């Protein structure tokens, strides 16, 4: 615990103004400090799949780990725990004491923009893996922050959306992963969600923070707001939210809180109670006697992290289709053949967008990984197939589109800031800025400043060049002082602008090769934009593409490459602009406007030996599924993604992943369809969680099986397994099960053994079954293992709203031994003789 801290004496030493100061951050990432009273500041850092540090643009490199949906697909507790430790090690290199992870919100709907950052549609799997991640991180003394409490399942209007959710659905689905992880792992911090629950913002919700979190669950820790997610003064403090982030405060300004005390809305004891939790948190971090903060963040590329990322990424990949054993592509099988790598083969789809983004130490593309694994055995060809980007890329400084130099004559741009009332002389100038995009998240430098990005451009090619641009506030683009673009007023998509996932209209401008043009982008700070994070922060981007590249026949090139090859592998997926925080996805189909779907269909039509490797964090439509021979869901698997993909495709790793989400055929069959992202009532977005507890497979169990391409828990292998001999016996805490698992195939492999439980007699009020236990088992060919799994009695219960307690009805229950939600290997029945209840 570090040196002994007398918390009550420390509180007594503070003035009321000093106390209030501590209830909000002092900067974007740091909590407030009062050094003269011995109270330190600690640094927080994103995030779930990499510890980035302060700069959202990623100037300090960091390890990029597999995203949570990939981790969940491993069904492996040890992997989750090891990743937690590694994230803590990364956090120390950035001087952070508090990691803003894990994210445990449920995959309610396939179009959720931030689903990739969370684990699963199932609360039990989510909670158990999050528990391990938290324990791993906190074993090294770094705080984990479980988020977003609660029900942040959509990005549309996420700051204000009002969600109508029954208490039963909250308890059984949305609060459940938090409850599991909090009771098992005791995360030291909880982050509130932006949204409202039944009319009340989460950060000001006394039922959520007081009754449930601190009362029923008995949790003691610090509650922090999501960034810009503080919505009240007195209500939030009294409800139990300790710290407004980021700082400086926008809501909990000292004079405002003092006024609330003066008016009797708050007492000083309310503030003291928040400080007790805050100081206990700092004490756990040993912050009073250990300075973890660093002046210069470091990028430590640890070899053991490389190994872990590759291992975790490969074991999270799910083999979904393998007709005629087209996979694995062993050296013996493919020697001397020609393989066409098509689509996003030269793109490393490492992670989704938003606060989960990091500037990875390096990124291995599938092209890189397969070249390393098979390059001496086969001939690889490549065709791009589609444009990947939602937005045109910034002008690169590598000369591929032309020469760009700043005002100092060096490659890149110059970057100038001006006061709002004086644009004649810049207040600061930075030369050799790398590109024509500036995102201010995490920085204070553009607050209430006009920004100009300036460079002299000498194009490589004559013709109409495609341009697209946008800014947070009023923005213009000038070519030799001629205005070629103007955005009047604020962006109409502030969250999209923040995470560079908005839609931009493209236009063309003619340039002549060899002629030099002065490019100037000027952008103003936004006012009255409706976001506490963005208000006053100047941000802008400009994308650029040569006409010849923009209008090329990419699909035709891909078809020709496929026809000439013995085998074609099409790489599809989302990059961080398509699947991101700040924006729900535009379509269930792969981007853009069906181009990737058309590409797969065209390639499969040209070559019957077509394999698809899909890198998304979510379920997507697969209209081409019947046309292809092989399919691997590779998720966002981190900086080693290309090597991990190659390991699975070549058989260096036998695939052992299982789906943590159901993959429906059509979006109309998703349980939340028609209730996502909601409807506007009097200008405010409201969403009804009308599906109740029937989320994911709990919904699909009640409808026709053909509505689903692949069920929850599904995953193929290069070997085969036999599950059986399930036996169930009562235990002091519930039930204990035994079962046999045998590898009946010819290669070593792993399988996620799953246990589901449901009432023998189905009813409309309850799911057919729910996951209550799982275990990853790895076996050599012919090896048999007896396994034991525990099931808590509470996990058979449903929440009775009228009685306000968990209830296990008397009657017959069936325990299912399974390899997926629909592949049941054995069933054993248990009779519960009388009703059993548990306190909420």
Backbone angles phi, psi at 376, to 5 degrees: -90, 0
- DSSP lists the bridge partners of residue 684 as 681
Cβ 526 vs Cβ 490: under 8 Å: yes
Bridge-based pairing state of the strands 413-419 and 338-343: unpaired
Cβ 69 vs Cβ 80: under 8 Å: no
Query: HSE-up of 758 (CA within 13 Å, CB side)?
Result: 22
Cβ 25 vs Cβ 244: under 8 Å: yes
Instruction: Read off the DSSP letter of residue 802.
Output: T
Backbone angles phi, psi at 688, to 5 degrees: -105, 120
**Sign of torsion over alpha carbons 49, 54, 58, 60:** negative
Measure the CA–CA gap between 166 and 211, rounded to whole angstroms.
16
- DSSP lists the bridge partners of residue 383 as 342
Measure the CA–CA gap between 483 and 539, rounded to whole angstroms.
19
Separation of CA 700 from chain center: 24
For 618, the 3-state DSSP assignment is: coil
- CB neighbourhood size of 819 (10 A): 21
Alpha helices in 160-242 (DSSP H): 167-169, 176-185, 206, 234-239
Cβ 413 vs Cβ 406: under 8 Å: yes
Q: Rounding to the nearest 10 degrees, give the CA dihedral for residues 87, 92, 98, 102.
A: 0
Cβ 592 vs Cβ 620: under 8 Å: no
Measure the CA–CA gap between 165 and 177, rounded to whole angstroms.
16
Query: HSE-up of 387 (CA within 13 Å, CB side)?
Result: 16
Residue 560 burial class via C-beta count within 10 angstroms: exposed 0-12, middle 13-18, buried 19 and up? middle
For helices 176-185 and 123-138, the axis angle rounded to 10 degrees is: 30
Cβ 80 vs Cβ 71: under 8 Å: yes
Residue with tokens 């609330």: 260
| Residues with active-site annotation | 226
Q: Which of 387, 313, 334, 250 shows the shortest CA–CA distance to 645?
A: 313
Instruction: Read off the DSSP letter of residue 211.
Output: I
Residue 288 burial class via C-beta count within 10 angstroms: exposed 0-12, middle 13-18, buried 19 and up? middle
Measure the CA–CA gap between 163 and 200, rounded to whole angstroms.
9
Measure the CA–CA gap between 806 and 815, rounded to whole angstroms.
19
Residue with tokens 């995360």: 187
Residues in the chain: 840
Cβ 369 vs Cβ 642: under 8 Å: yes
Residue 829 burial class via C-beta count within 10 angstroms: exposed 0-12, middle 13-18, buried 19 and up? exposed
């Amino acid at each position: 615990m570090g040196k002994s801290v007398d918390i009550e004496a420390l509180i007594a030493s503070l003035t009321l103004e000093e106390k209030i100061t501590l209830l909000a951050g002092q900067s974007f990432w740091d909590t407030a400090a009062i050094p003269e009273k011995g109270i330190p500041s600690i640094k927080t850092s994103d995030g779930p799949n990499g510890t980035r540090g302060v700069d959202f643009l990623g100037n300090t490199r960091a390890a990029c780990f597999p995203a949570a949906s990939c981790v969940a697909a491993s069904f492996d507790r040890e992997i989750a725990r090891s990743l937690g430790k590694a994230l803590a090690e990364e956090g120390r290199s950035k001087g952070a004491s508090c990691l803003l992870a894990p994210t445990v919100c449920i995959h309610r709907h396939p179009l959720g923009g931030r689903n990739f950052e969370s684990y699963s549609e199932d609360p039990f799997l989510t909670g158990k893996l999050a528990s391990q991640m938290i324990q791993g991180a906190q074993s090294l003394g770094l705080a984990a922050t479980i988020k977003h409490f609660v029900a942040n399942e959509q990005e549309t209007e996420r700051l204000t959306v009002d969600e109508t959710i029954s208490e039963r659905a909250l308890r059984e689905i949305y609060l459940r992963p938090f409850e599991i992880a909090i009771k098992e792992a005791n995360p030291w911090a909880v982050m509130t969600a932006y949204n409202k629950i039944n009319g009340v913002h989460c950060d000001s919700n006394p039922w959520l923070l007081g009754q449930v979190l601190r009362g029923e669950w008995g949790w003691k820790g610090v509650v922090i707001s999501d960034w810009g997610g503080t919505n009240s003064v007195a209500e939030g403090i009294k409800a139990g939210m300790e710290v407004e982030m980021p700082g400086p405060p926008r809501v909990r300004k000292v004079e405002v809180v003092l006024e609330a005390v003066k008016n009797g809305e708050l007492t000083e004891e309310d503030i003291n109670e928040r400080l007790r939790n805050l100081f206990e948190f700092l004490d756990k971090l040993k912050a009073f006697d250990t300075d973890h903060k660093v002046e210069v963040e470091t990028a430590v590329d640890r070899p053991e992290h490389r190994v872990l990322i590759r291992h975790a990424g490969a074991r999270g990949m799910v083999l979904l289709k393998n007709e005629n054993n087209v996979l694995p592509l062993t050296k013996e099988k493919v020697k001397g053949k020609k393989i066409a790598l098509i689509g996003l083969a030269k793109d490393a789809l490492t992670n989704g967008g938003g606060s989960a983004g990091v500037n990875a130490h390096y990124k291995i593309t599938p092209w890189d990984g397969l070249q390393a694994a098979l390059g001496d055995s086969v001939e690889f060809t490549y065709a791009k197939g589609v444009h990947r980007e939602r937005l045109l890329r910034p002008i690169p400084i590598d000369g591929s589109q032309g020469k760009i130099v700043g005002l100092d004559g060096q490659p890149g741009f110059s970057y100038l800031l001006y006061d709002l009332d004086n644009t004649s002389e810049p207040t600061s100038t930075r030369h050799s800025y790398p590109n024509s995009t500036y995102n201010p998240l995490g920085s204070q430098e553009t607050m209430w400043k006009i920004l100009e990005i300036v460079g002299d451009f000498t194009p490589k090619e004559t013709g109409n060049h495609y341009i697209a641009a946008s800014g947070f506030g009023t923005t213009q683009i000038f070519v030799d002082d001629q205005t070629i673009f103007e955005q009047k007023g604020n962006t109409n998509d502030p969250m999209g602008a923040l995470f560079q996932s908005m839609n931009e209209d493209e236009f063309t401008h003619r340039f002549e090769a060899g002629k030099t043009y002065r490019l100037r982008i000027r952008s103003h700070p936004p006012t009255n934009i409706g976001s506490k994070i963005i208000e006053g922060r100047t941000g802008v981007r400009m994308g650029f593409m040569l006409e010849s590249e923009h209008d090329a026949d990419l699909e035709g090139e891909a078809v020709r490459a496929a026809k000439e090859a013995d085998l074609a592998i099409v790489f599809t997926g989302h990059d961080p602009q398509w699947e991101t925080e700040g924006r729900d996805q535009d379509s269930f189909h792969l981007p853009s406007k069906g181009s990737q779907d058309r590409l797969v269909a065209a390639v499969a039509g040209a070559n019957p030996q077509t394999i698809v490797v899909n890198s998304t964090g979510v379920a997507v439509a697969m209209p081409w599924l019947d046309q292809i021979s092989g399919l691997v869901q590779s998720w966002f698997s981190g900086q080693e993604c290309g090597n991990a993909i190659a390991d699975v495709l070549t058989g260096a790793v036998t695939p052992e992943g299982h789906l943590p989400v159901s993959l429906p055929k059509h979006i109309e069959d998703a349980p939340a369809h028609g209730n996502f992202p909601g409807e506007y009532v009097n200008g405010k977005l409201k969403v009804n969680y009308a599906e109740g507890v029937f989320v994911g497979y709990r919904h699909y169990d009640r409808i026709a099986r053909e509505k689903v391409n692949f069920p929850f828990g599904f995953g193929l292998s290069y070997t085969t397994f036999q599950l059986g001999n399930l036996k169930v016996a009562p235990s002091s805490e519930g039930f204990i099960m035994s079962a046999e698992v045998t590898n009946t195939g010819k290669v070593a492999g792993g399988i996620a053994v799953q246990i589901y439980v449901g009432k023998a007699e189905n009813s409309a009020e309850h799911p057919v079954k729910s996951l209550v236990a799982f275990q990853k088992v790895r076996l050599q060919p012919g090896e048999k293992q007896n396994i034991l799994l525990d099931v808590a009695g509470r996990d058979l219960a449903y929440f009775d709203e009228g009685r306000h307690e968990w209830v296990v009805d008397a009657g017959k229950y069936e325990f299912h031994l399974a390899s997926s939600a629909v592949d049941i290997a054995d069933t054993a029945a248990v009779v519960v003789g009388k009703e059993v209840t548990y306190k909420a």
